[in-house]
Amino acid sequence: MTKIKNKIFVALSAFLVLSVALIFCLNIGNVKAFADENEVCEHEYEESIVEATCSEMGYTLYTCKLCGDNYKDNFTDFKEHNFTDIVIAPTCTERGYTTHLCVECGYYYEDNVILPFGHTYTVEEHEVTCTEDGYTLHTCETCGASYVDNVVESTGHDFKEKKVEATCTAYGFTVHTCEKCGDKYTDSYVYPTGHHFEDTVIEPTEDCVGYTFHKCTDCSYTYLSDFVRSGETPYFPEEPTEPTGEGQGETPVIPEEPTGGEQGETPVIPDEPTGDEQGDHTHLYILFSENYEDEKYIYIRYFCVVCDEEKNDLVQIAFTSEDGNRYNLTADENGKVDYSEIPYGVYEVEMFGENGQTLTWYQLTLAEEATNTDEPTEPQEQETPTEPETPSEQDGDPFEDLGGGFVDEIGDTEEKTETAEQNKGNSGLMTGIIIVLMLLGAGAVVTLILMKKKKNKEKKEQENKE
């Protein structure tokens, strides 16, 4: 029973100490305030002048440097706004107006509103083709906005075939040409057939060299070979015949070599004509030509078969395309006819003499080194341009950067004042909490001491009884 009473005593003591400490802390601020209210301050005021602005009146602020008491006096009127005018011109889709903006405080208002004047369109017609859609394009002359309508899908190509037969030296192929737009491509290539020559041997005479004349029966291509001059074949005397009749058993007598007139004159090979002797004959010119496809040139030799005189400069070479375009070329001093600058395609090559006579004619294909023979694919459908969207209204305040600084500065000053007052109140609260914690700690220590003394006393009493 005694132990229970002691515990109750200790608990009540601790509760009493804590209650007194808590009440003291809660009322310490009120006591100080009450004491301050009853204390009379002999104020010492300092003056500060606050200038008037566009949004605030001006005044004189009196503040006591001892207790902080203050009041305002000598109020002045608001200042006039300092406006600057910003003119926004109207557009096809946006209204125009004038904004009057105060550069001091950021206040603004608008007037002189002008309604949008709308688009002014020009019309441009685009015809439909094999690969492109047809449509009508409407473009605003003022702002450039555009849209299309009346769209007609592309018609696609209408190809017709033309077969070009292979020749002795040129490839055969098939040309596909669109009858609408002229677009073309080639395929189905066939190798050249090669020449089929018919040979004619021209015997030499005293005034003319002999040769073999080769002429192709398909394309009339010609060339000469096996040149021989008169008298080049040697003389062979006849062998004596065997003796017959009565004298057959006798040893035949080998006849002596004939001499003088008996032997006959040995044929003399004539010398090459020189000087005036060469001009005594009629020139017989022939043309030799050979195409070097890889090097893009033709080698020609136009010469006299009698005296071998060359006249390459008398030959005119004409390349005529399927479209009728004609390219006239001549040979250089070495007989080289360069056609590397002529565009790719199929050409009729004709060579003319000095009197305009045709010396030779054949077909020649100038093929591109890497030719894509696949049929062109149909173009994809053209995307229809969409009507431009109407620009949306401008978001936010367009004059925030011009006038916001002044307003923000005023707001920051008010926030700093409120923060200082809150910090002051928080400081007092923290002081009270610290005092409460100290009193609670002291009360706990006293309670423990009392409990220990009580316990020691009871122990001694117990020992005395024993």
Which tokens belong to 252?
Answer: 């035949």
Residue 359's pLDDT band (boundaries 50, 70, 90)? confident
The answer to whether the beta carbons of residues 437 and 21 sit under 8 Å apart is: no
Report the first-to-last Cα separation within the chain, whole angstroms: 19
- Cα distance between residue 205 and residue 228, in whole Å: 10
Model pLDDT, residue 159: 93
> Which is more confidently placed, 25 or 139?
139
> Which is more confidently placed, 21 or 285?
285
The answer to whether the beta carbons of residues 305 and 286 sit under 8 Å apart is: yes
Model pLDDT, residue 285: 82
Dihedral, 56, 58, 60, 62 alpha carbons, nearest 10? 0
**Most confident stretch, 79-93, 297-311, 357-371:** 79-93
Model pLDDT, residue 373: 47
Instruction: List pLDDT tens digits, range 219-255.
Output: 878 888 888 876 655 434 444 455 544 444 444 444 4
Range name among 6-10, 246-250, 336-340, 458-462 with the lowest pLDDT average: 246-250
Instruction: List pLDDT tens digits, range 159-208.
Output: 999 999 889 888 899 999 998 898 989 999 999 988 999 899 888 887 67
Model pLDDT, residue 369: 64
What three-state secondary structure class fits 108? strand
Q: Which sequence spans correspond to the domains of the chain?
A: 1-34+432-466, 45-71, 83-114, 121-152, 157-194, 283-369
**Look-up: residue for tokens 């060469």?**
278
Which tokens belong to 455?
Answer: 């316990």
- Cα distance between residue 107 and residue 128, in whole Å: 58
> Which is more confidently placed, 321 or 283?
321
User: Residue 134 pLDDT more than 70?
Assistant: yes
User: Residue 47 pLDDT more than 50?
Assistant: yes
> Which is more confidently placed, 257 or 80?
80
φ/ψ of 443, rounded to 5, equals -60, -40
Model pLDDT, residue 368: 76
The answer to whether the beta carbons of residues 315 and 284 sit under 8 Å apart is: no
What three-state secondary structure class fits 332? coil
Instruction: List pLDDT tens digits, range 1-15.
Output: 556 666 666 666 667
Range name among 48-57, 356-365, 415-424 with the lowest pLDDT average: 415-424
User: Residue 370 pLDDT more than 90?
Assistant: no
DSSP 8-state code for residue 85 = E
In 322-454, at which residue ranges do the beta strands (DSSP E only) sit? 326-329, 336-338, 345-352, 358-366
Instruction: List pLDDT tens digits, range 51-97.
Output: 989 888 999 999 998 898 999 999 999 888 999 999 999 999 999 99
CATH number, span 283-369: 2.60.40.10
The answer to whether the beta carbons of residues 287 and 302 sit under 8 Å apart is: yes
The answer to whether the beta carbons of residues 155 and 130 sit under 8 Å apart is: yes
The rounded mean pLDDT for the chain is 76
Range name among 91-95, 287-291, 429-433 with the lowest pLDDT average: 429-433
- Cα distance between residue 216 and residue 197, in whole Å: 4
User: Residue 135 pLDDT more than 90?
Assistant: yes
Model pLDDT, residue 12: 67
- Cα distance between residue 313 and residue 334, in whole Å: 10
Model pLDDT, residue 456: 81
